Structure 1
Amino acid sequence: MDRRQFLKWGSFLTVSAASAGLSACGGGSDGSASAAAGQSQLAAGKAFGLGVASGDPRPDSIILWTRVDGGDGANSLGVTVQLSDKQDFSNLLVNQALSADPAWDYTVRHKVTGLSSATTYYYRFLTGGTSSTIGRTKTAPAPGTAVSQLKFAYITCQDWSVNHWGAFDEIAQLDLDFVMHVGDYIYETVGAGFQNGNNETRHAALTLPNGTKRADGAIYATTLADYRYLYKSYRSDPRIQAVHANFPVISIWDDHEFSDDCWQDRQVYYPGDDSVPNTPRRRSASQAWFEYTPADVSIDLSNPSFQNIQIYRSFSFGNLATLVMTDQRLYRSDHIIPETAVPNTGLANLGSRYFVPKSALAQAEAAKMASTGGNLLNVSILGDTQRQWWQQQMQGASTTWKLWGNEVSLLRMGVDGTMAVAGLLAQGLIAALAKQGMDFSAVQQQLAGALYQDLLAADKSGATPVLSYAHTQPLLATLSGNAITAAVFNAALKPTLDANLPPTMLLDQYILNADQWDGYNAERKALMGFLKSNGIANVVGITGDIHAFFAGPVMDDYDAASPTPVMVDLVTAGISSNSFFSYFKNVVDTVPAFAKAAPLIYQTVNGQTVNTFNNTLKQFNGNWLKYVDTDAQGYAVVTLTPAKLSCTFHKMAKLVNGVAPSPATASTQTLEVASGTPAINVL
């Protein structure tokens, strides 16, 4: 072996240095012959059915990945990796024999160092007389190098069993420098209610080798074999293989790579479920992610902790961008309000993770902080060590832009239930009066204001509020031409209003999703305060998780009288997963306590479901939610220059008779962020 080329094993990562002029017997584009310099004495495999992949592009290195088929589960298989700067492999830079071992499920993760920056390379794997697909990858520009443009796509939430994967066909054809995956590469459950009856016919039903059955009939991955099975199933789709073969992918995990809404090594399917750690399950999930993800990270299986892997890391792209990828599950604290502290509505996460009273959340967070002397120890997503690292990365970045691979949204998503109910009551009252030939539409806003005051003053001691209508009735009595007397109001209108009053519990301010940064407000404020006080500009969150498109500025303090924008968050919808809208529609359709809030989520017009959720969110979060589409699947494409960031959301068309539509994209929306200004311009 050339002295400039070396090979080592360390936590299942082989490494070799690129060296020009390597030989290959029968070299050429077909790869049909074994590489002489890369001969292995091990038995050959049969094929590379999951394709090839590359990841974590740096100026001088890249990670290459494949899985070798044909193993017997006991013995290793021989495989050779080749890399070239020529598409026909006429100039081999790497020609190295490797071992695909059963201990790592016959996957291969190989790091090539000594590469040139901002350069396209081609790679393939050989076993016996079989060659893999040829992969294409690209290294990052060198630090400090002037870069005029960077283009990448970012994706998230690709449930195998929901909707379609037509997006991958489109992404594979784009001209990109790399792809980012911000989590939920797999879904750990199969057979859940939301996963039945709405997926592509080309995606066969999944059957876990082991799994654990939940009370609702869903089965969730539990063992290493289960998680490996899911990755192998997901990677069997040729469309996702094409994306991996065409671009390096920079990946981070979110929750479903382990367990829905997880924290550390705890699962939260049922109230109290997280009272006992499930370290073996967490370790299995982490190992499978490690095996099937071309990421430049290491794992220590001899370490018995569930924190035996670190996946947060950073990248730089010349003088243009620093990319910071964070891990928002392995170190996060328990949800601020535990599931056992709220009534069980049948949807165990209501009141703790979703639709959480804002005041109760703030009080619980303050109490947890007080118990630890005012620090963020028990109210953190990042954990102390990673938070300090994040601050160092942001403060030390000399690039124009600082991109944050951020799994869960930083944008406040709240609803003032009292104000929302007042608006619905006013709308219903005007409709009732219109049937009597009276048009009060011109004073709808005044009526909503009066009803809001009456709701604030209501007796809320019972399950349903009791209103005196001390503001609404006098307002109706003073309107010229349409005056309604107290007697008429009490006889004809009050009973209708009373009948439409929701449960008292809805008359509160709510946070819609406390699993994201809204549920960890103190740490979010600390991070935004750090950026603000240190004058760190051009920070953009590249975000997924919530199965919807959102975009807007992130405030230093959402509860301040005049919040100050500090950075921007761009949230992409999931590739295929059920939408945020569908979750809340299910809540108002199935949980009686929320039934009267249904018009805030949707209305039925001429037999068609009309999304009102978008406008509801804009109404109460209008200063920062500049773009909202809660009922969507799709992906995002970013073009970055020194002057601006342009992001285009691609919204997918719906599944048609079990087949992905062509074209897959139904519509696009482009947004821009100008350098120096934490604001969104919706084009």
Structure 2
Amino acid sequence: MNWYQSSHLPSTGLKRRDVLRGAGILTGLAITSQLPRRLVAQPAFSGYPFSLGVASGNPLPNSVVLWTRLAPNPLSGGGMPAYNVPVQWQVAADENMRRIVKSGTEVAVPEFAHSVHVDVRGLQPGQTYWYQFKAGNEVSPIGRTRTAPARGERLDRLRFALANCQDWQNGYYTAYKHLAEEDLDLVVHVGDYIYEYGPQPGGPRQHNGPEIFSLEDYRNRHALYKTDANLQAAHAAFPWVVTWDDHEVENNYASGISEVDGEPDQDPAVFLRRRAAAYQAYYEHMPLRKSSLPYGADLRLYRRLTYGDLAQFNVLDTRQYRSDQPCGDELKPLCDAALDPNATLTGKAQERWLFQGLQQSSAQWNILAQQVMFSQFDFDARPGVQLFNMDQWDGYVAARNRILTFLEQQKVSNPIVLAGDIHSSWVHDIKRDFNKPGSPTLGTEFVATSITSDFPTQFIAPVTAALSNNPHTKFFNGALRGYLRCDLNRKRWRSDYRVVSTIAAPQATISTLASFVVENGKPGAQRA
């Protein structure tokens, strides 16, 4: 059925099993006792229900996740009554939605903020599709997505963008306007999708309300960010692969440990309730499969995606399972805790999973898509004085060394580490021993600058001065915002640092600040 021909629900209606499936009864949350809830097929919306746009994500060769959320009043809890609503979806082989290849109905339930996560199966590998939702008589914008190639299929080219750190208050998302116009297969987002802070005067726009703690708070903050037209355009243009960092919950939290401050969540039980609220709101607003449904304060986010025989993405979570930051966090000289072999950023289970995936990989390029800078960097230019960022892998030296040892011993093909978090652009050669410049180069790290989040201007000069103490660092820029565009084939990997002229105004131009290439079989980056 094409919605341009008919706006009515299918005459077959919905069966109880559809209601239960849409409600997500395997969530581990106590919602099943409230079912069956009244199902309203023709709701009267107080405003346009698809105000937060549409998205797709987690592309597999035969499947992709489609997302939307019914939110006629997005900044005040969504504005939906407390009943279930059937949401129809269609997938087409053409942008005019005339050649429908898949269709169905999901049920949007209040317990998950009337969000919809459709795992569309039976699609063809490596194909572009278009999709649309309908609720009542309202239809969503049309989104475009693309499946991954068949596993093991020879693939000659892959193009994607790396994005992160989009503080609403610090600037406009013009970078996403330009990203949406790129020719890409997917977008990888490595965290700080939202920020939890309250309003901070001085920027071009402000957060809606004080620092967030409750489920409703996190929902309203996610909704605020998703009202941005440029962010919606980028979501609608490509499938996204997402992982979080800290600000989706709280700055620099570590597993079940809150940042040290004067807030009530210094009590671990209080913090875990906050984390559970944040994790649920994150799931509700991202194109994630139902296998990522939160169970209280737990949500498995690390996962693996392959693109034919060309690339394997190991998407990591370096927040939920990490040890507390050593040495009191912040920039510090190394202390014994930073060298502790029991300290971890990933947790033991995720580390084993990573090593197993890398060992079994037949991909030409093996990618670690994760949050914080992996390579060592001494931020102090003074002789005999060292300062390292304890929130990055520099605070977890033994855990990093285990990965370096594994890469060297297993001879992993073309390791590439992707990172964000630090609101600046970097390129590093990954050394077997960062303290010995002549040691083998095992891989390459590309760190993308932020979409809008600020790198303090007063830090640019000291970091630049410290580059001479870090010969494995090939590039740094802290002044400009944007994203990283990656174009890889069987001969080389190319990373273009795409930056906007300003984030202080809604209009900005885009340019390429710098480009680096890695040749197949030759770890380390060279200027393009």
Structure-1-length-normalised TM-score: 0.69
What residue ranges of structure 2 are gaps of 5+ in the alignment?
A: 15-38, 73-78
From the superposition, tell whether residues 44 and 220 of structure 1 become closer, same or farther in structure 2 (CA, over 3 Å): same
2:289 aligned to which of 277, 296, 306: 296
Instruction: Tell me, in whole angstroms, the C-alpha distance in 2 between the residues paired with 1:120 and 1:525.
Output: 40
Structure with greater Cα Rg: 1
Determine what percentage of the aligned residue pairs are the same residue: 29
Are positions 1:381 and 2:383 aligned together?
no
Residues 89 and 133 in structure 2, CA contact (< 8 A), matched pair in contact too: yes
Are positions 1:227 and 2:218 aligned together?
yes
Match of 2:464 in 1: 615
From the superposition, tell whether residues 67 and 393 of structure 1 become closer, same or farther in structure 2 (CA, over 3 Å): same
Which string of whole-angstrom CA distances, capped at 9 and with x for unpartnered residues, describes residues 3-37 of structure 1? xxxxxxxxxxxxxxxxxxxxx1xx25x47613526
Amino acid at match of 1:650: R
Instruction: Tell me, in whole angstroms, the C-alpha distance in 2 between the residues paired with 1:528 and 1:180.
Output: 23
Instruction: Tell me, in whole angstroms, the C-alpha distance in 2 between the residues paired with 1:31 and 1:95.
Output: 15
Instruction: Tell me, in whole angstroms, the C-alpha distance in 2 between the residues paired with 1:632 and 1:615.
Output: 14
Aligned residues between the structures: 492
The aligned runs of 1:5-44 (5 Å cut-off) are: 24=1, 27=2, 30=4, 33-36=7-10, 39=13, 42-44=40-42
From the superposition, tell whether residues 122 and 418 of structure 1 become closer, same or farther in structure 2 (CA, over 3 Å): closer
Question: Higher helix proportion, which one?
Answer: 1
Are positions 1:244 and 2:235 aligned together?
yes
Deviation for aligned residue 1:533: 0.8
The aligned runs of 1:394-543 (5 Å cut-off) are: 394-416=358-380, 418-419=382-383, 508-511=385-388, 513-543=389-419
Deviation for aligned residue 1:560: 4.0
Residues 70 and 80 in structure 2, CA contact (< 8 A), matched pair in contact too: no
Which string of whole-angstrom CA distances, capped at 9 and with x for unpartnered residues, describes residues 395-424 of structure 1? 1110101111111011211045642xxxxx
Which string of whole-angstrom CA distances, capped at 9 and with x for unpartnered residues, describes residues 469-520 of structure 1? xxxxxxxxxxxxxxxxxxxxxxxxxxxxxxxxxxxxxx63221x11011111
Match of 1:489 in 2: none
Amino acid at match of 2:41: A
Match of 2:85 in 1: 77
Which string of whole-angstrom CA distances, capped at 9 and with x for unpartnered residues, describes residues 51-91 of structure 1? 11100000010000011135544111221111122323333
Instruction: Tell me, in whole angstroms, the C-alpha distance in 1 between the residues paired with 2:414 and 2:511.
Output: 31
Are positions 1:282 and 2:260 aligned together?
no
Are positions 1:48 and 2:41 aligned together?
no
Instruction: Tell me, in whole angstroms, the C-alpha distance in 1 between the residues paired with 2:371 and 2:191.
Output: 6
1:67 aligned to which of 50, 69, 88: 69
Amino acid at match of 1:55: G
From the superposition, tell whether residues 614 and 666 of structure 1 become closer, same or farther in structure 2 (CA, over 3 Å): farther
Instruction: Tell me, in whole angstroms, the C-alpha distance in 1 between the residues paired with 2:405 and 2:100.
Output: 50
1:660 aligned to which of 506, 517, 520: 506
From the superposition, tell whether residues 131 and 560 of structure 1 become closer, same or farther in structure 2 (CA, over 3 Å): same
Match of 2:454 in 1: 578
In structure 2, the residue corresponding to 1:115 is in which secondary structure? coil
Residues 484 and 496 in structure 2, CA contact (< 8 A), matched pair in contact too: yes
In structure 1, the residue corresponding to 2:402 is in which secondary structure? helix
Instruction: Tell me, in whole angstroms, the C-alpha distance in 1 between the residues paired with 2:306 and 2:414.
Output: 15
Match of 1:258 in 2: 249
Are positions 1:197 and 2:221 aligned together?
no
Are positions 1:365 and 2:357 aligned together?
no
Amino acid at match of 1:169: K
The aligned runs of 1:603-642 (5 Å cut-off) are: 611-622=460-471, 624-642=472-490
What residue ranges of structure 1 are gaps of 5+ in the alignment?
A: 1-23, 209-218, 339-351, 370-375, 420-506, 586-600, 602-610
Are positions 1:647 and 2:495 aligned together?
yes
Instruction: Tell me, in whole angstroms, the C-alpha distance in 2 between the residues paired with 1:275 and 1:553.
Output: 41
Deviation for aligned residue 1:628: 0.7
Deviation for aligned residue 1:225: 0.6
Match of 2:207 in 1: 206
Instruction: Tell me, in whole angstroms, the C-alpha distance in 2 between the residues paired with 1:634 and 1:72.
Output: 35
In structure 1, the residue corresponding to 2:67 is in which secondary structure? strand
Instruction: Tell me, in whole angstroms, the C-alpha distance in 1 between the residues paired with 2:484 and 2:453.
Output: 15
Instruction: Tell me, in whole angstroms, the C-alpha distance in 2 between the residues paired with 1:116 and 1:220.
Output: 44
Which string of whole-angstrom CA distances, capped at 9 and with x for unpartnered residues, describes residues 188-235 of structure 1? 1122xxx43122xxx4x3233xxxxxxxxxx42101111101110100
In structure 2, the residue corresponding to 1:161 is in which secondary structure? helix
RMSD: 2.1
Instruction: Tell me, in whole angstroms, the C-alpha distance in 2 between the residues paired with 1:326 and 1:37.
Output: 44
Residues 410 and 569 in structure 1, CA contact (< 8 A), matched pair in contact too: yes
Deviation for aligned residue 1:131: 0.9
Instruction: Tell me, in whole angstroms, the C-alpha distance in 1 between the residues paired with 2:211 and 2:433.
Output: 38
Residues 164 and 659 in structure 1, CA contact (< 8 A), matched pair in contact too: yes
Amino acid at match of 1:564: P
Instruction: Tell me, in whole angstroms, the C-alpha distance in 1 between the residues paired with 2:515 and 2:153.
Output: 28
Instruction: Tell me, in whole angstroms, the C-alpha distance in 1 between the residues paired with 2:292 and 2:214.
Output: 17
Match of 2:19 in 1: none
Residues 287 and 299 in structure 1, CA contact (< 8 A), matched pair in contact too: no
In structure 2, the residue corresponding to 1:121 is in which secondary structure? strand
Instruction: Tell me, in whole angstroms, the C-alpha distance in 2 between the residues paired with 1:179 and 1:230.
Output: 22
Instruction: Tell me, in whole angstroms, the C-alpha distance in 2 between the residues paired with 1:223 and 1:119.
Output: 40
Structure-2-length-normalised TM-score: 0.89
The aligned runs of 1:114-263 (5 Å cut-off) are: 114-191=122-199, 195-199=200-204, 203=205, 205-208=206-209, 219-263=210-254
Are positions 1:390 and 2:238 aligned together?
no
Amino acid at match of 1:89: M
From the superposition, tell whether residues 227 and 43 of structure 1 become closer, same or farther in structure 2 (CA, over 3 Å): same
Match of 1:488 in 2: none
Deviation for aligned residue 1:300: 5.6
From the superposition, tell whether residues 114 and 411 of structure 1 become closer, same or farther in structure 2 (CA, over 3 Å): same
Instruction: Tell me, in whole angstroms, the C-alpha distance in 2 between the residues paired with 1:563 and 1:265.
Output: 37
Instruction: Tell me, in whole angstroms, the C-alpha distance in 2 between the residues paired with 1:111 and 1:679.
Output: 38
1:324 aligned to which of 314, 338, 344: 314
Instruction: Tell me, in whole angstroms, the C-alpha distance in 2 between the residues paired with 1:235 and 1:44.
Output: 25
Instruction: Tell me, in whole angstroms, the C-alpha distance in 2 between the residues paired with 1:206 and 1:156.
Output: 18
Residues 152 and 639 in structure 1, CA contact (< 8 A), matched pair in contact too: yes
In structure 1, the residue corresponding to 2:449 is in which secondary structure? coil
Deviation for aligned residue 1:93: 2.5
Which string of whole-angstrom CA distances, capped at 9 and with x for unpartnered residues, describes residues 35-59 of structure 1? 5268556233433111111000000
Residues 250 and 258 in structure 2, CA contact (< 8 A), matched pair in contact too: yes
Which string of whole-angstrom CA distances, capped at 9 and with x for unpartnered residues, describes residues 159-180 of structure 1? 0000221101101111110111
From the superposition, tell whether residues 38 and 634 of structure 1 become closer, same or farther in structure 2 (CA, over 3 Å): farther
Amino acid at match of 1:111: D
Deviation for aligned residue 1:129: 1.8
Are positions 1:106 and 2:106 aligned together?
no
Deviation for aligned residue 1:298: 2.8
